[in-house]
Amino acid sequence: MGSRGGLLKEKLQAGETVIGPFVIVPSMTMIDTLGYAGMDFCIIDSEHGPISMETAADMVIAADGTDVAPIIRVGDNDERLILRALDIGSSGVQVPQINDPDDARKLVNSAKYSPSGERGLSIFTRAGDYFKDGAPGHTDRQNEETVVIGHIEGKRGLDNLDEIMEVDGIDVYFLGPYDISQSLGIPGDVRNPIVEEALVEACGKAKEAGKSVGSYARDIDMGRWLLSNGVQYLAYNVDATVYMEACERIMGELRA
């Protein structure tokens, strides 16, 4: 497992753009369609979505079948949650509320095996190919290929971004525009100049430090704007919303 995560990391390190949606619909079929659509990754959302780890495991298997890298967003910077998300064979993990270097170190420690961290070791999991042939090189391969994504979701994280980026082991610094808007006193107004200025400043810091930045686009216009400001890991909308908006467009055109 993990080859898709390795490919995703290679693309990011080469300066390429990768695109995929958040997923809250607990459906293997919906995941399957993303691969056929050419998406690079999908973020299986166990923080804001209703998805259990058992369901996520099936969704990861579906993602592997169509070459879309399955990333799991957990609900907390918690060692147990991160361990379970990775042991089911996901390509990576997204973790909320990375507000200072201690949060960053805690994330890396949970997501990486020794000597880079203290991730709990069982090689009898899907991530370890169920111990097939003794799972040679499992810990080194996982450390190399697993994509570790930390969410910068508020003013504290933005203020501490330079120090957070000094912690080795995080591959993408994900700027959450909605939580950032709330922390700046304008909840939900993600295209407000105050929010946009904060995002542009953070992207500039990351670029200067040679780090990859991710963020969320609610529509194509916002996506293009984020890409123009250096975002490489673009989370585009949510699967349920994309489906709803497509249905609305169909109904509107047929009833016009």
Give the torsion through C-alpha atoms of 28, 35, 39, 68, to 10 deg.
80
Average pLDDT score over residue span 70-92: 97
| Sequence-separated (6 or more) residues with CB below 8 Å from residue 250 | none
Binned at pLDDT 50, 70 and 90, residue 220 comes out as very high
HSE-CB for 187 with a 13 A CA cutoff:
1
pLDDT digits (tens, 9 = 90+) for 108-132: 999 999 999 999 999 988 888 888 8
Pairwise CA distance, residues 169 & 109, whole Å: 9
Q: What is the pLDDT of residue 129?
A: 82
Predicted pLDDT at 133:
83
Fold of 3-254: TIM Barrel (3.20.20)
Interatomic CA distance for residues 169 and 117, integer angstroms: 9
* pLDDT band with cut points at 50, 70 and 90 for residue 3: low
Instruction: Tell me if 148 sits within 8 A of 168, measured CB to CB.
Output: no
**What would the mean pLDDT of 244-256 be, rounded to a whole number?**
96
Residue 39 has pLDDT above 80, yes or no: yes
This prediction's pTM: 0.94
From residue 184, alpha-carbon distances to 54, 179, 200, 237 in Å are 36, 9, 15, 22
Residue 184 has pLDDT above 80, yes or no: yes
Distance CA 220, CA 133 (A): 46
What pairs with residue 42 in β-bridges?
70
pLDDT tens-digit profile of 135-166? 889 999 999 999 999 999 999 999 999 999 99
| Chain segment 41-66, per-residue pLDDT in tens | 999 999 999 999 999 999 999 999 98
- In the chain, the largest separation of any two C-alpha atoms, in whole Å, equals 62
Average pLDDT, the chain: 95
Give the residue, 71 or 64, on which the prediction is more confident.
Answer: 71
Using the predicted structure, report yes or no on whether residue 2 has a pLDDT greater than 60: no
The domain ranges of the chain are 3-254
